[in-house]
Structure 1
Amino acid sequence: MTDNKLELKDFGPSPFAVNLSEAAKQNTNYRTTFWTGNHFQVTLMAIPPHGGDIGMEIHHGNDQFIYLVEGVGHVQMGTDKEKLTVDRDIYPGEAVIIPDNTWHNIINAGDEVMKCYSIYSPVKHDHGVTEATKEEAITQEGPLEGTNE
């Protein structure tokens, strides 16, 4: 680390200690895999302001934890895409816990880039994935899970 700037790359599966909130603040990509192990993965995300989003999706085989570091988000989730049971704003310091087989989306409800980090268990993305935009993520990895988007 030089000048308080972290190298934003995938450090897994090596042992690693870091300030995840600071890493998330420095990340400018839609998604950067930051640590990929055998059983879980950490990604950093930057979601554009004024309605940018992660995208309504459902994971089959993954639990997910998202921690908001900067910005204001709006989370929607539930087991039935047509009857979402969670629909509320989230703020820095708050977490979203998404069980397997749960529809979910987090929308940037503010005027600034929303920064967060996400933990997937088991691993969701290939080691070393970096995607500058949501569109690039869809191009590289295919449609959001459970959708044609």
Structure 2
Amino acid sequence: MKITDNGPEPNAFDIETATKENDNYRTVAWSGKYLQVTLMSIPVGESIGLEAHPETDQFVRLDAGRGRAKMGPAKDELTFQQDVSDGWSIQVPAGTWHDVENTGDEPLRLYVVYAPVHHAAGQVQMTADEAERDEESGADEPPEWSFEPEGGHPDEHA
């Protein structure tokens, strides 16, 4: 299934099929003014990566695979841990350190809703390394039409 981020225009697509067919680490599926939808595929034994978004809430839903969600107030204090699988959702409050690890034997397929928008519109990153390079180089910035909090604070990574 081909997904095209058409920016803040009306859009509809079969998110479950698109999520299950997505082989990229991250594919930005739709970018609005106040929220964004991304599709992710996490390889066996890997994770999203421990991080915190100071001004971004996240909703994560798994459509295939098994994993473990970890969250907490500090990168060395992940007091919340929950095994998750197909059909589970994870809610990550802004500023919370979090990670989702693939503990299964197949790619972990999930989608993420960010509020506010967090990534460049239409961005496709095949691997976590590519996503990290894009973030460090500034190539993964939210589009100008999106709302961003005043004086935004940068993400934190472990």
Question: So what's the TM-score if we normalise by structure 2?
Answer: 0.85
Counterpart check, 1:100 vs 2:94? yes
Equivalence for 2:58: 64
In the alignment of these two chains, the number of paired residues is: 142
Look up the SS of the partner of 2:156 in the other structure.
coil
Distance 2:8 2:33 in 1: 7
Secondary structure at 2:28 match in 1: strand
Q: Tell me the C-alpha RMSD between the 2 structures.
A: 1.6
1:11 corresponds to: 6
1:128 is displaced (CA, Å) by 1.1
Residue by residue over 1:49-84, the C-alpha shift from the partner in whole angstroms, topping out at 9 and shown as x without a partner, is 1x2110000001100000000000111001122221
Give the ranges of 4+ consecutive aligned residues of structure 1 lying more than 3 Å apart after TM superposition. Answer: none
- Counterpart amino acid of 2:53? H
Name the structure 2 match of 1:47.
42
C-alpha separation in 1, matches of 2:7 and 2:18: 15
Of all paired residues, the percent bearing the same amino acid is 40
Given candidates 23, 38, 43, the residue that maps to 2:18 is 23
Contact 1:8–1:27 at 8 Å: present in 2 too?
no
Any stretches of 5+ residues in structure 1 without a counterpart?
1-5
Tell me the residue number matched to 1:130: 124
Distance, in Å, in 2 between the alignment partners of 1:121 and 1:96 is: 14
1: CA distance between counterparts of 2:6 and 2:39? 13
Instruction: Give the equivalent residue in structure 2 for 1:3.
Output: none
Question: Taking structure 1 as the reference length, what is the TM-score of the superposition?
Answer: 0.90
